[in-house]
């Protein structure tokens, strides 16, 4: 359905594929970020207590997604946080994003994996025939 943002994981050996689907490229990037978090913990356990602002820049959409997801992974590790809400604006090759989350509580969040980084494997950012956008790649865990 056009207009609906979705987040999915897909199988890829020992790693995890994340995919965002949305009515715009920015919404698909938000969905990919949600899929990243859902590989770590149940999204319903994450509260939007703290906001982190991020900027990325890349010459093509695929590399912009790669940079966005790696920046999220970096911020999660640095701040020992998990994020459950995202807002992304993309203009040209520049992304301005916000992530809301909270410090990891091992008892409540029960982290399943620790993402190490986004990879170029199965990297894809494209608009589908029905107008929806897909943003995906494999995450090394």
Q: pLDDT (tens digit, 9 = 90+) per residue, 50-77?
A: 999 999 999 999 999 999 999 999 999 9
Q: pLDDT (tens digit, 9 = 90+) per residue, 30-42?
A: 999 999 999 999 9
| Residue 88 within any structural domain of the chain | yes
- Please measure the distance between the N-terminal and C-terminal CA atoms of the chain and give it in whole angstroms: 31
| Residue 133 within any structural domain of the chain | yes
Domains contained in the chain, number? 1
| Residue 1 within any structural domain of the chain | no
CATH, residue 124: 3.55.10.10
Position 14 scores a pLDDT of 66
| Residue 54 within any structural domain of the chain | yes
| Residue 47 within any structural domain of the chain | yes
- Residue-range definition of the domain harbouring residue 16: 6-140
């Amino acid at each position: 359905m056009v207009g609906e943002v979705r987040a999915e994981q897909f199988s890829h050996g020992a790693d995890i594929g994340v995919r965002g689907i949305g009515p715009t490229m920015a919404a698909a990037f938000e969905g990919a970020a949600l899929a990243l978090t859902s590989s770590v913990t149940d999204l319903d356990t994450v509260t939007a207590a703290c906001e982190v602002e991020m900027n990325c820049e890349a010459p093509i959409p695929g590399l912009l997604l790669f940079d966005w997801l790696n920046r999220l992974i970096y911020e999660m590790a640095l701040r020992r946080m998990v994020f459950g809400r995202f807002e992304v604006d993309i203009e040209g090759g520049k992304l301005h994003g916000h992530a809301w989350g909270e410090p990891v509580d091992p008892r409540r969040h029960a982290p399943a994996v620790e993402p190490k980084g986004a990879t170029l494997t199965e990297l894809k950012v494209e608009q589908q025939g029905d107008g929806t956008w897909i943003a995906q790649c494999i995450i090394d865990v």
